[in-house]
Structure 1
Amino acid sequence: MTSILTNVAAMSALQTLRTIGHDMETTQAHVSSGMRVGEAKDNAAYWSIATTMRSDNKALSAVQDALGLGAAKVDTAYAGMNAAIDVVKEIKAKVTAATEQGVDKAKVQEEIKQLQEQLTSIASGASFNGQNWLVFDSVAAAAATPPETADKTIVSGFIRSADGTVKVNTTTYTLQDLPDAAATPAAISNVLFSAIDDTDFTQSTGGILGSDADALGATITGTGMAGKFVVNMDITDFNDEDMADALSVVEAAFQMMTKAASQLGSISMRIGLQEDFANRLTDAIDKGIGRLVDADMNEESTRLKALQTQQQLGIQSLSIANSSAEGILSLFR
């Protein structure tokens, strides 16, 4: 039946053309954005997963920044400790040379004094962003309001658990200004000084270079080194017994500094490994998100070309359907 009121063929062609137009809009959106899941309506599950993982990646980016800051602190402390070790080596060499009979100890002491001042200068300058890991006064820290902690924490990771909870991992490095012989195992001092006065660079008796000889593990038999330590000893009037004590104290301090430097080196190595892992993890998450929501541009471009062809055919089909009704006019001529 042919009707001039209801053109079924035109209606069918128009519906097809509408469907093709909708598909073209979707495909063009994929091509322009590069994503096949750009909104929740495209695929709610994939969009939710991708959004969560993008959030985690931002957190990982912040962790990477924090790792860089932590690495800078550790590297600064390690550089200071390493420089101090080199100075203590020189002091050890000077003390050893001064044990030779006939050597003018007063002249050697002048050199040692300059090295001692260099030690305080190194410790004072080894600061990054206001934090100095080579100088820590536990007594002053405990009396502060609020009390300062001896634990220095560095952000080392970001974790999302299976239950959806998230947490930030940290690595802790504890500053200790005095060796604790009662601890098991014995705690090792890992700061050069317990305090340094900013005005005249004087120091208290805490820390590796300021601990008393017994705390350093040196056996003192003479009187010249009693109550003395690496940074304030004066060998000008030392006898042979005192010189042996001085060398013993310097060597004990050197061994403790080496242990402290190895601790800092271990933390630096871990931070480096964590930075590498964070970079790899970020890349892996990006790839995973891409597999879920990225559009295959080869496929989309092929689909767009096919839809453009279908649209042209649909327009022609609609034109034919509309023109078929014109044939009825010939019946009334």
Structure 2
Amino acid sequence: MTYKITSSAQVNALAALRIINKEAAETQQQVSSGYRVETAADDATYWSFASVLRSDSSSLQNIHDALGVGASKVDTAYTAMDSLIDQLGDIRATLVSAKEAGVDKEKLNTTLTELKNQMKTTVTTSNIAGENWLLNRDASMPTSRSVIGGFTRGTNGAFQPQLISYPSDQAVMIDTQDASRGLLTKSIDANTLNPDGSSTARDYYLLDAGSTTGASGSEIKLDANTTNDQISDMLSVVDSMLSSLTTTAAGLGTMSARISDRVDYTANLSDLIDKGVGALVDTDMDEASTRQKALETQQQMGVQAISILNTAASKVMILLQ
């Protein structure tokens, strides 16, 4: 005859051991992976929040990289603008010298020509990341130059980029399509700068870039027949250009400062988001390690309890034989 003894103590001990083993396995997984909430099955709400935050952190990292490229573009344009201001100052000094009696204006014009060529080189070589903010060769000029500075989430959670922009028409120095759109190629009426009631056209431009639509008026240059009145008009036009260049450079400097602030902000915000994700889903290693040791002790006690119960049951079986 076969006897089967199943005590409630044995059943309870086995059930408790199964629970302990399950908790121990979960704790071991958390310690191994470093995540308290690794999948949606662990906690759908926290997992969903963490996924959105991770996406935001990744977007911020991309924006941080884009800001670095944007900063290079602005710094390149600013550096070129600063050089143009110096070169235009040298042109002004040369024109002032031309007003002195007895000077060789044609020799001074050689200096002017060289300075103007330097300015053309400065503008045409201000390229970075495939863009030149100071030069336009397109039939239609873009309305602005932009650098991505951040993003927001719309009411439906859609990604909406924020841009730091600068007007293109203020930055373009040379326009090879339409000379009137470039500060250094457009014609400026000296009569509006120094009105004296004259009806004679006194338009001057600085650089001839071979634009499809050229500038009206005369190029700023010297020859033996250039009068002091003409030089005065040229100086007025150059002063107007210097004022515009200074304003443009100041605007680019402000834009550069804004980008620098955004670089720091996006880096700090990305760190804060990463901390937020960690608070939601990361394992507390100190707590998990303590819990793991406690569960190991419980496992050992459970195994011993079942062993004792099995031993007692075998002794009963011997008595029944």
TM-score, length-scaled by structure 1: 0.84
Residues 36 and 217 of structure 1: is their aligned pair in 2 closer, same or farther, counting only changes over 3 Å?
farther
**Offset of residue 11 of structure 1:** 1.7
Decide which moves more: 151-160 or 293-302.
151-160
Name 2:119's counterpart in structure 1. Answer: 119
**Offset of residue 282 of structure 1:** 0.8
Decide which moves more: 22-31 or 218-227.
218-227
**Offset of residue 190 of structure 1:** 3.3
Name 1:103's counterpart in structure 2. Answer: 103
CA contact (8 A) 2:190 2:234 kept: no
Runs of 4+ in 1 over 6 A off after TM superposition: 220-225
5 Å-filtered alignment, 1:130-141, equals: 130-136=130-136, 141=139
CA contact (8 A) 1:216 1:249 kept: no
1:152 paired to 2:145: yes
1:42 paired to 2:46: no
Structure 2 gaps, min length 5 = 208-218
Structure 1 gaps, min length 5 = 143-147, 177-188, 197-202
**Offset of residue 150 of structure 1:** 2.7
* Total equivalences in the alignment: 306
> Which of 284, 287, 296 is matched with 1:296 structurally?
284
**Offset of residue 330 of structure 1:** 4.6
2:175 alignment partner AA: S
1:192 paired to 2:173: yes
CA contact (8 A) 2:69 2:129 kept: no
Residues 134 and 217 of structure 1: is their aligned pair in 2 closer, same or farther, counting only changes over 3 Å?
farther
SS in 2 for 1:274: helix
Name 1:211's counterpart in structure 2. Answer: 186
Name 1:234's counterpart in structure 2. Answer: 221
- Structure 1 vs Structure 2 CA RMSD: 2.5
SS in 1 for 2:151: strand
**Offset of residue 233 of structure 1:** 1.7
Determine what percentage of the aligned residue pairs are the same residue.
Answer: 36
5 Å-filtered alignment, 1:139-288, equals: 141-142=139-140, 149-161=142-154, 163-176=156-169, 189-195=170-176, 204-214=179-189, 218-219=193-194, 226-231=202-207, 232-237=219-224, 238-288=226-276
> Which of 304, 307, 310 is matched with 1:316 structurally?
304
C-alpha distance in structure 2 between counterparts of 1:220 and 1:115, whole Å: 29
CA contact (8 A) 1:211 1:229 kept: yes
Residues 225 and 130 of structure 1: is their aligned pair in 2 closer, same or farther, counting only changes over 3 Å?
farther
SS in 1 for 2:136: coil
C-alpha distance in structure 1 between counterparts of 2:190 and 2:167, whole Å: 19
Q: Deviations over 1:79-101 (max 9, x none)?
A: 22111111111111222222222
1:16 paired to 2:3: no
**Offset of residue 41 of structure 1:** 1.7
**Offset of residue 50 of structure 1:** 0.3
C-alpha distance in structure 2 between counterparts of 1:135 and 1:215, whole Å: 25
Q: Deviations over 1:15-53 (max 9, x none)?
A: 111111101111111111111111112111111100111
**Offset of residue 256 of structure 1:** 0.7
C-alpha distance in structure 2 between counterparts of 1:255 and 1:277, whole Å: 33
Q: Deviations over 1:49-106 (max 9, x none)?
A: 0011111211222222222222222222212211111111111122222222222222
SS in 1 for 2:134: coil
2:206 alignment partner AA: V
1:51 paired to 2:51: yes
SS in 2 for 1:228: strand
Decide which moves more: 156-165 or 42-51.
156-165
SS in 2 for 1:170: strand
SS in 2 for 1:141: coil
CA contact (8 A) 2:80 2:126 kept: yes
C-alpha distance in structure 2 between counterparts of 1:46 and 1:216, whole Å: 71
C-alpha distance in structure 1 between counterparts of 2:133 and 2:108, whole Å: 31
Residues 229 and 239 of structure 1: is their aligned pair in 2 closer, same or farther, counting only changes over 3 Å?
same
TM-score, length-scaled by structure 2: 0.87
1:297 alignment partner AA: M
1:326 alignment partner AA: S
C-alpha distance in structure 2 between counterparts of 1:122 and 1:94, whole Å: 19
